[in-house]
Structure 1
């Protein structure tokens, strides 16, 4: 039986550990926190997962909260106009629903499931020196912990990483008491509110420790009017700032948020990081090799909501690569080929995300505007969140965009 060590108990690490466990591998999972510590800790992300990523969970029987989490059936876009109102407002329909489950709930539940099924769970923060030892006792070591010392083993791929600095300041709040969008009161949707030159507000339904909730998520251009959360530690102050910005920049969203309250004492999160693609293979001091997983090696800004989706897709791709490899050694060539297979999916996410971080060119503004008049355009844009590869066909090139809009307008 092949022995595999996975360091990191997030979406990718746990999904991969449970998938390998189901295939009969001897899996050890290292986490720096217990399930109870995760469950009682601070929120970790917004994790809106679209159909393809959700299906990877279903395939492994890990969709424990699917019947309880809100079914997100649409994705809407609003653009703040010069007068402070909405210059653009539309809703695209998803072919398959999306869902968001608080990662505190999901990761704690999956970790307990892994242990209950006989997996070896080690609660210990791993250092490079630990991996140096483990690389000699396991057939394969995977690093799925996207922060801390271990990430430094994976060098930045400058050719695939156009941004050296963070492009957005991030601020998240989980709340109860948000009213429905009057435009579609019976349809749960992710709402993307674009504030030109300043940033974005995302509003999305979720399922958290206390049941149904909503997430208010500001992304501010660094140094701009939305970049005001640095140093804010008090959750109540964080929420007050969130609402103040909503009232000023997205009053249509503020109108349904006047009675919100935080879901719990740890329901806020703020920070920033530079989107980075890294070399997938880490070399240890003793000569051993480790393979990076998900956002260890491809960390995109959350502006396109792809983090948890990419983690699920990476875990599924790696699972296939590992099981198909049989008893052959997990050497450097295999590691690079395994990453390259995943990159065929991830590269579309990285290209799209980096494009969305930049000021939109005229043809993209035309697409966003046209979606308000042409429902098929809105639907296609929305479903691109599930399959970002489709943006190659109509989003980046002005001629392709114009041709698509011409055909959509006469369809």
Structure 2
């Protein structure tokens, strides 16, 4: 039986671990920095919205749907965009319909449950904040070591890929609050939807319906351009109440069309806020440990995009799906450097367009993108295609990312 160690208990690490257990023939160990109880009752670690295609991969790997969206109150059926005009009212304001529902489950709730289920199914869980020396020692005991922990000293083992990493500094400051008591948007009160509010020269406010440890909620997520008025959460980072008050004041100031429905928002729990920043980066997938043994990176360890497009958990699911298929197909052959590089290359082929799209969203939108956003308010099929691109980002290469293809597509839509 082949022995595999996965360091990190997030979306990619646990999805892959469950997939290997269900496949059979693998002895799988997951190393988690914290036990499930601490994860569940700790501070929020992320935003997330998993779209239809990624949810399907997740279900296949786990063999079970722990959070069926039917009747749960956190099913997401739409994705909308608002952009203010000169009078601060939305000049662009539309809703695209998703062909497959999406959902957002607080990773404290999700990863704690997945970690417990993994142990119940016979997987080995080790609670340890692994150091490089720990990893080097353990690598001798396993056939394959996969690093799925996107933070900490271990990540520094993986070198930055300068050719695929156009940014060397954070492009947004990030501020998150999980809240109760947000009302639906008046224009679609019966459709639960992610709302992207794009505010030129300032940043983005993203509102995500979600499920947390205390029930259904909404995530208020500010992405601020560095040095701008949203890049001001450092001063309230240690005070959740002040963080929420600052969040709401910025909504009142820069996205007033969202303020009324958010005005009575209350934090879901004492750990419901998060602030920080990081530079988007692609790293080389293979790390050489001090002994010369190798470790393979996955998901955020090797491709960490800005969360502006909500693809982090989706890419993690794609990564786990890719790595699972590669491991199962590899049989009893050694997990050598060639296997590791080929596995990453297969993953990169699935997320290269997604990374290009995300990086493009961090820059001021070019004229053809503004044309698309405007056309989506006039043509429902444009709005729907944009919304469903979040589930299948490769589609954006055929229109959104290319001004000529965009013009051709819009001309065809107008003609129809």
Matches within 5 A, 1:10-409: 10-24=10-24, 25-59=26-60, 60-67=62-69, 68=72, 70-232=74-236, 233-409=238-414
- Once the two structures are superposed, residues 304-348 of structure 1 have per-residue CA deviations (whole angstroms, 9 ceiling, x without a partner) of 000000001100110000010000000000000000001011111
1:31 Cα offset (Å): 0.6
Number of residue pairs matched by the alignment: 411
Q: Which moved more, 1:78-87 or 1:89-98?
A: 78-87
1:80 Cα offset (Å): 1.5
1:61 Cα offset (Å): 2.2
State how far apart, in whole Å, the 1-side matches of 2:284 and 2:263 are.
Answer: 46
Find the counterpart in structure 2 of residue 6 from structure 1: 6
Q: Which moved more, 1:251-260 or 1:165-174?
A: 251-260
Over the aligned positions, Cα root-mean-square deviation in angstroms equals: 0.8
1:69 Cα offset (Å): 5.2
1:241 Cα offset (Å): 0.4
1:20 Cα offset (Å): 0.7
1:66 Cα offset (Å): 1.8
State how far apart, in whole Å, the 2-side matches of 1:336 and 1:176 are.
Answer: 44
- Once the two structures are superposed, residues 61-118 of structure 1 have per-residue CA deviations (whole angstroms, 9 ceiling, x without a partner) of 2420124351111100000112111110000111101000010000000000011111
State how far apart, in whole Å, the 2-side matches of 1:20 and 1:210 are.
Answer: 31
TM-score by length of 1: 0.99
State how far apart, in whole Å, the 1-side matches of 2:131 and 2:370 are.
Answer: 46
State how far apart, in whole Å, the 1-side matches of 2:263 and 2:339 are.
Answer: 54
3-state SS of the aligned residue for 2:65?
Answer: coil
3-state SS of the aligned residue for 2:114?
Answer: helix
State how far apart, in whole Å, the 2-side matches of 1:170 and 1:310 are.
Answer: 19
Question: Unaligned 5+ residue runs, structure 2?
Answer: none
State how far apart, in whole Å, the 1-side matches of 2:3 and 2:100 are.
Answer: 37
State how far apart, in whole Å, the 2-side matches of 1:352 and 1:13 are.
Answer: 25
